[in-house]
């Protein structure tokens, strides 16, 4: 077995170890020597597997007294961080555009809103309403508007109960939303955005997936229109990007 294939196998064993031992971020997994003995594999394979999982934001390694291998994030949060870093890098290098990310956001968040309407817990619904109420109370505080906006959209992703889906969509709040807010700041009417959030939350609370999806489409279309208004993106031509409205 090659080092690459053996390190892939060991990385799976390490992730299973984290699950089996119910380890949390910050918990110590062991040293390379300890892990090689526990897993009955060679240290080179452990070293390479640890390197792969450090790069995937799941583990961190520390040298010196008290050092070793530690849990950095749960596997789903590690995946979310990795995807966010990759997309952030694509934006920084110009290999992806804000327009492309907005298009992808619509493809993800519209069905997520519908799924949230089916699965949201009472606590998640409270989180949605609390974010709206806080934004309303601090209507003149731009920082609060941004923070509550991120909290609202994250809650919808978490409401689905699908950790993989949430991990793959978390980049929207971590990477896209801050840039989007900067771009549309001259044109956005926060009261309108809050009203749209209310429509989404109302549909989710009513357990109406179709209405939740429609409300999310309206909200994202509003943000896209604002980008066109401020000249941050070119107006969409027929056939260039998919319409957010159902046909």
Rounded to a whole number, what is the distance in angstroms from the first to the last CA of the chain?
53
- Name the strands in the sheet holding 68-71, side by side, starting at the edge strand that comes first in the sequence: 28-30, 68-71, 59-62
SS3 140: coil
**What is the predicted pLDDT for the residue at 19?**
86
What would the DSSP string read from start to end of 35-98?
HHHHHT--HHHHHHHHHHHHHTTSEEEE-STT-EEEE-S-HHHHHHHHHHHHHHHHHHHTSS-H
**What is the predicted pLDDT for the residue at 196?**
98
**What is the predicted pLDDT for the residue at 3?**
53
Q: How far apart are CA 51 and CA 32, in angstroms?
A: 11
Residue bearing tokens 């801050």 = 178
**What is the predicted pLDDT for the residue at 240?**
45
Burial of 106 (0-12, 13-18, 19+ CB in 10 A): buried
**CATH code at 3-73:** 1.10.10.10
**What is the predicted pLDDT for the residue at 246?**
47
Helix (H) or strand (E) holding 103: helix 98-119
Domain boundaries, the chain: 3-73, 77-229
**What is the predicted pLDDT for the residue at 101?**
92
**CA atoms 175, 179, 184, 186: torsion sign:** positive
Q: How far apart are CA 170 and CA 160, in angstroms?
A: 13
**What is the predicted pLDDT for the residue at 76?**
81
Residue bearing tokens 């070119």 = 234
**What is the predicted pLDDT for the residue at 241?**
42
**What is the predicted pLDDT for the residue at 242?**
46
Q: What is the DSSP letter of 170?
A: T
**What is the predicted pLDDT for the residue at 238?**
46
**CA atoms 195, 196, 201, 206: torsion sign:** positive
Helix (H) or strand (E) holding 28: strand 28-30
Phi and psi at residue 59, in whole multiples of 5°? -120, 160
Rounded to two decimals, the pTM is: 0.73
**CATH code at 77-229:** 1.20.120.530
- Which stretches of the chain drop beneath a pLDDT of 70? 1-5, 233-247
């Amino acid at each position: 077995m090659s080092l690459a294939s053996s390190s892939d196998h060991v990385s799976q064993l390490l992730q299973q170890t984290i699950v089996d031992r119910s380890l949390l971020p910050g918990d110590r997994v062991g040293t390379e020597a300890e892990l090689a003995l526990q897993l009955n594999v060679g240290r080179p394979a452990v070293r390479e597997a640890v390197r792969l999982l450090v790069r995937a934001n799941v583990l961190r390694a520390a040298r010196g007294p008290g050092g070793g291998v530690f849990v950095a994030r749960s596997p789903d949060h590690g995946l979310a961080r990795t995807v966010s870093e990759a997309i952030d890098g694509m934006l920084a290098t110009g290999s992806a555009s804000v327009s492309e990310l907005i298009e992808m956001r619509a493809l993800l968040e519209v069905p997520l809103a519908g799924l949230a309407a089916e699965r949201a817990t009472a606590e998640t619904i409270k989180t949605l309403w609390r974010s709206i109420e806080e934004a309303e109370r601090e209507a003149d505080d731009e920082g609060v508007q941004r923070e509550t906006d991120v909290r609202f959209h994250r809650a919808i992703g978490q409401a689905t109960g699908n950790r993989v889906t949430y991990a793959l969509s978390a980049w929207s709040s971590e990477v896209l939303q801050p840039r989007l807010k900067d771009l549309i700041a001259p044109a956005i009417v926060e009261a309108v955005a809050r009203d749209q959030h209310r429509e989404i939350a109302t549909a989710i609370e009513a357990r109406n997936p179709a209405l939740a999806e429609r409300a999310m489409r309206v909200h994202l279309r509003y943000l896209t229109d604002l980008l066109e208004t401020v000249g941050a993106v070119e107006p969409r031509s027929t056939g260039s990007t998919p319409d957010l409205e159902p046909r």
